[in-house]
A and B are shown apart, each in its own frame.
Chain A
Amino acid sequence: MTVINRSGAGGIRILLADDHHQVREQLAARLQRENGFDLVGVAANSRLTLQLALDARPRVLLIDPMMRDGMGLATLRRLVAELPDLAVVVLTAVIDTSLDMKLQELGVHHKQVKGVATADLISELRLAANG
């Protein structure tokens, strides 16, 4: 799951981070076939997310910060601080007020809940990349 694909030049460089196996596989497949996107890495936990993001320098990080290792938000906080050019799109199961506030503090404004049409996610990713 730590594949780094440097081939698809020209597209929006995306790093996908989600610790749910099937979700990760499906989203990776979806992003790979989408025109204009270049999936540069897929991370299955917080540690890999940090490593791949610092390594591959994606334009957009698509992340579910609610990771079972409990370090998702901390990792996100660190990446936002270290990579000022990184655009973040949060995709998670439930966004409650407390998570919403934390994301706001981090300056993350692009967020989607899981279970909304993928087309909306794709346009959110483009929006984040252009923002």
Chain B
Amino acid sequence: MISRRLKPLALLFPVLYIGVIGVAITAARPEVTPAMIWPGFAALMVGAVAFTFWIFRLLERREAVINERSEQLAALYKASLALTQELDLAVVLQQVVDLARSLAGAQYGALGVLDPDRTTIAQFLVSGITPEQRQRLGPLPSGKGLLGVLIHSGETLRIPDIASDPRSVGFPENHPEMTSLLGVPIRFKGEVMGDLYLTNKKALNGALHGFTEQDQQILEMFASQAAIVIKNAQLYRQAQQLALLEERERIGMDLHDGVIQSIYAVGLNLEDIQYRLEGEPEVKSGLGHAIEGLNDVIRDIRTYILDLRPQRFQGRDLAEGLAELGRELRAHSFLHVDVVTESDAWRSISPAQTVEILHIAREALTNIRKHARASKVDVTLAGRPGALILTIADNGVGFNADHARAGEGNGLWNMNERAQSLGGSFEIEPGQSAGTRVVLDIPLSE
């Protein structure tokens, strides 16, 4: 700004000065004619003007750099401030990557959050990519190539052209074209918790070029802010989950220690009365029904307690989870339960899908226990190309859709919802000889 105001002065001043000297010389020395000195003085003036222009160009460039830097610092400050307004982890992570991208003027941005083991990418958020583009990209990057270098070295990477770097392993299909890369680790207390990746530095005129030293510095500063905010959001989420788990645990313990025992004692009492009754067959059978009813209530509470257990299905693979459901059903009923895994197709489903499928299976098994009056259940995990098929068949009284819709359709609705959320289908059909078959068909992503 200052340079612009100074420029006319700085141009005028040397020219005038040289002119004044020229005039002074011709006035003081009559033997010197203007024709003798003016060509030389004119050359001096041109030289002075050229020098001034050159100096000012340098100054202006310097000023532009300083301006950009102070703008970036202001943006950094704003970004850091914006981050502290939010506690929700998902929102924080998306904000971090969006703000980083705009701070460094990158076309694309991504944030990889590492697993606690710090070798694999647990979450990968993007910015500057449309949801459709993201969809076409497929699964999370596994951390090969340059991403891997960043994860394992924990050092900043600034590369003008990704494709020509020997450590690059190339892009998957449908990946947007990317040339320059700036990758910065997010550290908390010296440990890398994730990485920011920015690609395709965009200049103001839209041209692409490499990231600058200054972009790197700004991004590194931002990353250290982001680390604190992300950690804070993670801790906040943990604290909330812990509170929830403690509450569940407590409810579970209360039901376990108090309610089940008391109902059981009442049942035993009724049984005793039933035993002592002489004659009165109707009353006896009425008491028998009452006892059965109480035992049903206990079973429901038991299932409820098992569902309250923290991370009921977390961290289990599907085969393991189904086997456990089978064991539980055996322990709480007289059903003969067989769990057979016929195919390895289940290995390619995600943990989230696994939890959903296990919930569907549990619901189906609960229905069988409650309504089917079956003696045998077969759970089969099979596959066909591109899909996983879970079949749960019983030899009970068969399924009455009208009855289910009228009274206890809630479980059915849940199962259907869950199946649809998996992009799969859910069918209830009569069994081969008797009973009911529940068939869950889930497409596998490649």
Neighbour of A114 across the interface among B272, B298, B324, CB < 8 A: B298
Q: What chain A residues lie within 8 Å of B328 (beta carbons)?
A: 96-97
With known contacts A26-B269, A113-B302, A97–B263 Cβ distance under 8 A = no
- A23-B265, A30-B271, A96-B328 known; 11 other A-B pairs, CB under 8 Å? A22-B266, A26-B269, A93-B256, A93-B257, A93-B302, A94-B256, A95-B332, A115-B264, A115-B267, A115-B298, A117-B291
Q: B306 at interface (Cβ–Cβ under 8 A)?
A: yes
- Cα separation A30 to B267 with both chains bound (whole Å): 12
- Cα separation A94 to B262 with both chains bound (whole Å): 14
Q: B157 at interface (Cβ–Cβ under 8 A)?
A: no
Contact between chains at A94 and B260 (CB < 8 Å): yes
Contact between chains at B305 and A23 (CB < 8 Å): no
Complex: chain B residue closest to A21, CB-CB = B265
Q: B372 at interface (Cβ–Cβ under 8 A)?
A: no
Q: What chain B residues lie within 8 Å of A23 (beta carbons)?
A: 261, 264-265, 268
A–B Cβ pairs within 8 angstroms, 20 of them: A20-B257, A20-B262, A22-B266, A23-B268, A26-B265, A27-B268, A29-B272, A30-B268, A30-B272, A68-B257, A94-B302, A94-B305, A95-B332, A96-B306, A113-B302, A115-B263, A115-B264, A115-B295, A116-B295, A118-B268
Q: What chain B residues lie within 8 Å of A111 (beta carbons)?
A: 331
Q: What chain A residues lie within 8 Å of B384 (beta carbons)?
A: none
Q: What chain B residues lie within 8 Å of A116 (beta carbons)?
A: 295
Q: What chain A residues lie within 8 Å of B327 (beta carbons)?
A: 97, 100
Q: What chain B residues lie within 8 Å of A118 (beta carbons)?
A: 268, 271
Q: A86 at interface (Cβ–Cβ under 8 A)?
A: no
Q: B294 at interface (Cβ–Cβ under 8 A)?
A: yes
Complex: chain A residue closest to B288, CB-CB = A117
Q: A66 at interface (Cβ–Cβ under 8 A)?
A: yes
Q: What chain A residues lie within 8 Å of B332 (beta carbons)?
A: 95, 113
Q: B309 at interface (Cβ–Cβ under 8 A)?
A: yes
Contact between chains at B268 and A115 (CB < 8 Å): no
Q: B299 at interface (Cβ–Cβ under 8 A)?
A: yes
With known contacts A113-B331, A115-B267, A115-B298, A26–B260 Cβ distance under 8 A = no
With known contacts A96-B309, A113-B332, A26–B268 Cβ distance under 8 A = yes
Complex: chain A residue closest to B269, CB-CB = A26
Q: Which residues in A have some Cβ–Cβ distance to B below 8 Å?
A: 20, 22-23, 25-27, 29-30, 33, 66, 68, 93-97, 100, 111, 113-118
- Cα separation A26 to B276 with both chains bound (whole Å): 13
Q: What chain B residues lie within 8 Å of A113 (beta carbons)?
A: 302, 331-332
Complex: chain A residue closest to B332, CB-CB = A113
User: Scoring B residues 305 to 331 as 1 if CB is less than 8 Å from chain A, else 0, what string do you get?
Assistant: 110010000000000000010011001
- Cα separation A2 to B168 with both chains bound (whole Å): 77
Q: What chain B residues lie within 8 Å of A94 (beta carbons)?
A: 256, 260, 302, 305-306
Contact between chains at A100 and B261 (CB < 8 Å): no
In the complex, the 9 A-B pairs of residues with the closest C-beta atoms, listed nearest first = A115-B298, A22-B265, A26-B268, A93-B260, A20-B261, A114-B264, A115-B295, A23-B265, A93-B256
Q: What chain A residues lie within 8 Å of B262 (beta carbons)?
A: 20, 22
Q: Chain B nearest CB: distance from A69 CB in Å?
A: 12
User: Scoring B residues 177 to 191 as 1 if CB is less than 8 Å from chain A, else 0, what string do you get?
Assistant: 000000000000000
- Cα separation A25 to B265 with both chains bound (whole Å): 8
With known contacts A93-B261, A94-B260, A94-B302, A117–B295 Cβ distance under 8 A = yes
Q: Chain A nearest CB: distance from B167 CB in Å?
A: 45
Neighbour of B261 across the interface among A22, A33, A117, CB < 8 A: A22
Q: What chain A residues lie within 8 Å of B324 (beta carbons)?
A: 97
Chain B residues numbered 246-281 whose CB sits less than 8 Å from any CB in chain A = 256-257, 260-269, 271-272, 275
Q: What chain A residues lie within 8 Å of B266 (beta carbons)?
A: 22
Q: Chain A nearest CB: distance from B325 CB in Å?
A: 10
Q: Chain A nearest CB: distance from B277 CB in Å?
A: 14
Complex: chain B residue closest to A18, CB-CB = B261
Q: Chain B nearest CB: distance from A41 CB in Å?
A: 19
- Cα separation A111 to B305 with both chains bound (whole Å): 19
Q: What chain B residues lie within 8 Å of A33 (beta carbons)?
A: 275
Q: Chain B nearest CB: distance from A106 CB in Å?
A: 16
